[in-house]
A = this chain, B = another copy of it.
Amino acid sequence: MKTNTIFLSPDEMPRQWYNILADIKMNPPLGPDGKPVTPEMLAPVFPMNLIEQEVSTERWITIPDEVMNIYSIWRPSPLIRAVNFEKALGTPAKIYYKNESVSPAGSHKPNTAVPQAYYNKVFGIKKLTTETGAGQWGSALSFACSQIGLECKIYMVRISFDQKPYRKAQMQAWGGKCVASPSNETNAGRAILAKDPNTPGSLGIAISEAVEAAVSDTTGQTRYALGSVLNHVMLHQTVIGLEAKKQLEKTGDYPDIVIGCAGGGSNFAGIAFPFVSDKMHGKKVEIYPVEPIACPTLTRGPFVYDHGDTARYTPLLAMHSLGHAFVPPPVHAGGLRYHGMSPIVSQLVTENLLTPKAVSQIDAFKAGVLFARTEGMIPAPESNHAIAQVVIEANRAKETGEKKVILFNLSGHGLLDLGSYEKYFANELDNYAISDEDLAKSEAVFKDFPKPQLLKSI
């Protein structure tokens, strides 16, 4: 039978994650004293086995059997040739996409939620805390904890908690306990509520509450989990790109261009890093992280030392940043509303191994709707940004007549984001382009911090 889907059998699944820290040098995270942080300083927040993984430079790290078993609920995920989308664009390019929307939580997030829950369990932890904005990460961690057997507590930004009751119910269906943040359950939350009882909350506040809840459990059996940015999160996501490489091998194609949307960087890293490694070893391939013009961390933010959170609880990370005080405009791609970027992705940009792109919210939805009408899947608003860049590349190939092979990551479906599509159809979306003055103001917060070195690994 003719099919546009390139399947992998379960036996062909990658059994190891690819650790790109084997290939590159990195500026270390710095503590409040300006010196590199030690593993011990992170021990109250993360379990030691994950801290070790965070700094490991082993090239291949074996995926534990229990994680493989849970991955098998939805993995290997399909690689699909977007034939109808190609036809609609009239392009000679071949467009392939990796469909990460097939997980129970509907995105790539469970790829790291499951191993994070697993390593915590192995370390003897009973409960995980986390924050969530729009709800993708909170629901993925709830799913993972239900599979592994951990309690899960999620601090969800108040405005999203009220606007998106479906997400809360989804977490609850998997046994996760979700409260609106700021809450009355933490010192951080109570302090903010005392000042402003009607605050809509923020990711920065929610992180503060989740970290406080983890470190203040006197039994020592609670830890905090993060869904992006950190090295071990990028590591776990490489299963996406490793599968995609095997699937592409079956077609005889190798990508000229690899594309993923980038907020904290995790789905992008997942599809891209195995190809970045090829590129370092001489292969010719263009690799584009795509962000919203409303939050242009890689395209307009400098490579600096800055905090990962608004409240400055985290170490200083060497990364592209718009400043930890930057509040991104309310674009519907909630997963791309982050002031900073994965330090590894940032380092690869400084080495010119990646070429960042930015697209507007309206172009993103326009591309996403064309994709839905031709390929059948309704993409998440985040994924629409990758698709908009695919459209640009496909149109360029049409002009030049080049038969480019384009691979992109469909990071998630948009079924719990259909409200944003409704606003698109009603012409109620804004692009939220931001001014140089606003950026300069936001970036002022890190001007006195140490400067990272411009390392070259290759």
Measuring CB to CB, which residues of chain A are less than 8 angstroms from any residue of chain B? 1-5, 7, 9-11, 13, 15, 65, 68-70, 72-74, 80, 84, 102, 104, 106, 143, 146-147, 165-170, 172-175, 369, 372-378, 414-416, 418-419, 421-422, 425
Contact = CB atoms under 8 A, between A and B. Distances in A.
Contacts of A68: 1-2
A369 B421 contact: no
Contacts of A378: 104, 170, 173-174
CB-CB nearest 7 A-B residue pairs: A104-B376, A166-B418, A3-B72, A169-B418, A169-B422, A3-B10, A169-B421
A173 B72 contact: no
A446 to B, nearest CB: 40
Contacts of A69: 2-3
A146 B85 CA distance: 12
Nearest to A165: B422
B102 A102 contact: yes
A415 B418 contact: no
Given A102-B102, A104-B376, A146-B373, A172 B425 contact: yes
A37 to B, nearest CB: 35
A167 B419 CA distance: 10
A422 to B, nearest CB: 4
Nearest to A147: B376
A5 B170 CA distance: 23
B1 A415 contact: no
- Number of copies of chain A assembled together: 2
A7 B421 CA distance: 34
A316 to B, nearest CB: 38
A1 B374 CA distance: 34
Contacts of A418: 165-167, 169-170, 173, 416
Contacts of A172: 421-422, 425
A2 B72 contact: yes
Contacts of A414: 173
Contact of A106 (B143, B166, B415): B415
Contacts of A372: 146, 173-174
A106 B167 CA distance: 17
A380 B181 CA distance: 29
A65 B1 CA distance: 9
B9 A7 contact: yes
A415 B165 contact: no
A173 B367 CA distance: 11
A142 B177 CA distance: 36
18 contacts: A4-B73, A5-B72, A7-B7, A7-B10, A73-B80, A104-B376, A146-B372, A146-B373, A146-B374, A165-B419, A166-B415, A167-B418, A172-B425, A173-B369, A173-B414, A173-B418, A174-B373, A174-B378
A3 to B, nearest CB: 4
A381 to B, nearest CB: 12
A65 B2 CA distance: 9
A1 B9 CA distance: 9
Given A4-B72, A169-B422, A416-B418, 9 more contacts: A1-B15, A7-B10, A73-B80, A165-B419, A166-B415, A166-B416, A166-B418, A170-B378, A415-B415
Contact of A377 (B1, B11, B104, B425): B104
Contacts of A13: 1
Given A102-B102, A376-B104, A72 B1 contact: yes
A169 B425 contact: yes
Contacts of A65: 2
A86 to B, nearest CB: 15
B10 A1 contact: yes
A376 B73 contact: yes
A5 B10 contact: yes
Contact of A11 (B1, B73, B80, B422): B1
Contacts of A70: 376
A4 B73 CA distance: 7
A175 B9 contact: no
Nearest to A103: B376
Query: Which of A68, A414, A418 has the most CB atoms of chain B within a 10 A radius of its CB?
Result: A418
Given A1-B11, A166-B415, A415-B416, A175 B373 contact: yes
